[in-house]
Amino acid sequence: MNLTIIGSGYVGLVTGACLADIGNDVFCLDVDQKKIDVLNSGGMPIHEPGLREVIARNLAAGRLKFSTDVRAAVAHGDVQFIAVGTPPDEDGSADLQYVLAAARNIGRYMTGFKVIVDKSTVPVGTALRVRETVAAELAARGIEPMFSVVSNPEFLKEGAAVEDFTRPDRIVLGCDDDVPGEKARELMRRLYAPFNRNHERTLWMDVRSAEFTKYAANAMLATRISFMNELANFADRIGADIEAVRRGIGSDPRIGYHFLYAGCGYGGSCFPKDVEALIRTAAENAQELKILKAVSAVNDAQKKVLAHKIVERLGEDLSDRTFAVWGLAFKPNTDDMREAPSRTLIAALLARGARVVAYDPVAIRDAKRAIDQDLEDQPEWLERLSFANEQMEAVRHADALVILTEWKAFKSPDFDSLKKALKAPLIFDGRNLYEPETMREIGVEYHAIGRGGVFAGAFAVNGALAAR
């Protein structure tokens, strides 16, 4: 099938590459000529495991093309995927200007029947706006409408996106019931047939429900995380261990083990933005989503929890302190710095006069860019921030190690070397990578999330009781 993917960002690239890999002829469009040049020369604008290989073999096979030529892109695909960004507006709602610009271009250049697929995460009702936009362009050209708009949200996790695309839990497809909708449904059925061979994964529904499903999924997952983070803070107060509690509740199949990890707050391109956008859409429809407002507020506070723990332990004035930070990306296996908790924590440390030496296996370039932007009004803070090329180098002569992303390489470091490198054996862990008891045995003062709080290193419950 001839496919066009409008937008060669994270979602567009994974979608285009994986659909080419099953034999489709895919045209990826982007407005950014530099990005297109990088892709055509075999380079990668993002870090995503496995994606480079899929792109390379499909470029070589001639099934994948990258270009900035809008007219050619629209002419190419029977199916036009819109996979452009929907960044948050000032008020938190999704900014649809890129989606609607893509729709205008399709309407401006299309000739035969097209299926237009909303792949970007867009508020309920966007498919209708896309339809109106395309129809208006066609009307201006005096052409009868001959297209259908389908909602096909993605459920890709960064760091595992190729795997998620190739072996999806579900494929959500929202189609209209009219004649063009039926035609679109048939094309989409054919397109996704290879993913449904052993087991039917497609969930067919109306367009609005499909649009809403994406937000509902992310809102539910974000809710689980904020719920656990709030309980973790409480566990710290009462001297309970959130990890034991997690296992205790996760074993109930109605709850399950996934997405119950307390930490330093969720980040990334989806959860924060989608929760806010859903709250906004609800408000526009005269409904207050009280739970989601709390989810968002708890997350904002959670990103500051480690800074509070550090201040509690070392005092407000950190001007003679140096902190090693391990992990900058919002999660492992990506260089994505969007809404990463590291940005909040590093700013909080620098604001109190500390020096920070940061390390991440892949995100340093993006981290520099993001933090420079965050702190452009505080150039003197930035002078106290540096980056190490290697994880042990970051720790040398630091007063404490702060862990913010659970990269594999951080999971079992050589603690002897770590203790020698640090001025004192002090770790603040936003990802609960180590066992408090093991840390106590090897003589590391260990502060994690919900693992006994200030009592870490002693028996949590006894500590809590003693403190009362």
Annotated binding residues:
30, 35, 86, 121, 155-158, 214, 259-263, 267, 273, 331, 338
Contact window for ligand UDX (CB under 6 A) among 23-31, 186-194, 217-225, 347-355: 217-225
Please pick, from the candidates 158, 176, 211, 335, the single residue that binds ligand UDX as defined by CB under 6 A: 158
* C-alpha span between 268 and 452 (Å, rounded): 28
Secondary structure letter of residue 410 according to DSSP: G
The CA–CA distances, whole Å, from 16 to 6, 7, 127, 190, 309 equal 9, 10, 21, 16, 44
* C-alpha span between 273 and 339 (Å, rounded): 9
Residues in contact with ligand UDX, shown as a per-residue x/- string from 248 to 267 under the rule CB under 6 A:
-----------xxx-x--xx
* C-alpha span between 251 and 24 (Å, rounded): 42
Backbone angles phi, psi at 115, to 5 degrees: -100, 125
- Residue 205 C-beta: closest distance to ligand UDX, Å: 17
Burial class for 283, CB neighbours closer than 10 Å (0-12, 13-18, 19+): middle
- Residue 267 C-beta: closest distance to ligand UDX, Å: 4
Q: Let me know if 264 is a catalytic residue.
A: no
- Total residues contacting ligand UDX by CB under 6 A comes to 20
* C-alpha span between 239 and 232 (Å, rounded): 10
- Residue 261 C-beta: closest distance to ligand UDX, Å: 3
* CB of 413 closer than 8 Å to CB of 443: no
List helix spans (H) across 239-340.
Answer: 242-250, 271-284, 290-302, 305-314
- Residue 51 C-beta: closest distance to ligand UDX, Å: 14
Contact window for ligand UDX (CB under 6 A) among 76-84, 85-93, 153-161, 236-244: 153-161
- Residue 137 C-beta: closest distance to ligand UDX, Å: 30
* C-alpha span between 306 and 303 (Å, rounded): 7
Q: Which is nearer to ligand UDX, 23 or 248 (CB)?
A: 248
Q: Which is nearer to ligand UDX, 25 or 406 (CB)?
A: 406
Please pick, from the candidates 27, 271, 323, 381, the single residue that binds ligand UDX as defined by CB under 6 A: 271
Residues within the annotated binding site for NAD(+)?
30, 35, 86, 121, 158, 273, 338
Catalytic entry in 18, 175, 264, 270? 270
Q: Which is nearer to ligand UDX, 271 or 455 (CB)?
A: 271
Secondary structure letter of residue 374 according to DSSP: H
Is residue 268 within the footprint of ligand UDX (CB under 6 A)?
Answer: yes
Tokens linked to 31? 């407005």
Q: Which is nearer to ligand UDX, 270 or 400 (CB)?
A: 270
Tokens linked to 388? 């190490």
Is residue 270 within the footprint of ligand UDX (CB under 6 A)?
Answer: yes
The alpha carbon torsion through 426, 428, 433, 436 (nearest 10 deg) reads 60
Q: In whole angstroms, how large is the CA radius of gyration of the chain?
A: 24
* C-alpha span between 105 and 110 (Å, rounded): 8
Q: Which is nearer to ligand UDX, 108 or 157 (CB)?
A: 157
Is residue 154 within the footprint of ligand UDX (CB under 6 A)?
Answer: yes
Which parts of 388-450 are beta strand (E)? Answer: 400-403, 426-429, 445-447
Question: ∠ CA(58), CA(64), CA(66), 5° rounding?
Answer: 130
- Residue 75 C-beta: closest distance to ligand UDX, Å: 30
Q: Which is nearer to ligand UDX, 74 or 449 (CB)?
A: 449
Length of the chain: 468
Is residue 331 within the footprint of ligand UDX (CB under 6 A)?
Answer: yes
Please pick, from the candidates 18, 83, 156, 191, the single residue that binds ligand UDX as defined by CB under 6 A: 156
- Residue 263 C-beta: closest distance to ligand UDX, Å: 4
Task: Determine the residue with CB nearest ligand UDX.
Answer: 270
Contact window for ligand UDX (CB under 6 A) among 1-9, 195-203, 268-276, 384-392: 268-276
Q: Which is nearer to ligand UDX, 268 or 450 (CB)?
A: 268
* C-alpha span between 69 and 207 (Å, rounded): 29
Please pick, from the candidates 157, 189, 293, 396, the single residue that binds ligand UDX as defined by CB under 6 A: 157
The CA–CA distances, whole Å, from 82 to 15, 115, 127, 149, 295 equal 11, 11, 11, 10, 29
Is residue 225 within the footprint of ligand UDX (CB under 6 A)?
Answer: yes
Is residue 64 within the footprint of ligand UDX (CB under 6 A)?
Answer: no
- Active site residues per annotation: 270
Binding site for ligand UDX (CB under 6 A): 154-158, 218, 221, 225, 259-261, 263, 266-271, 330-331
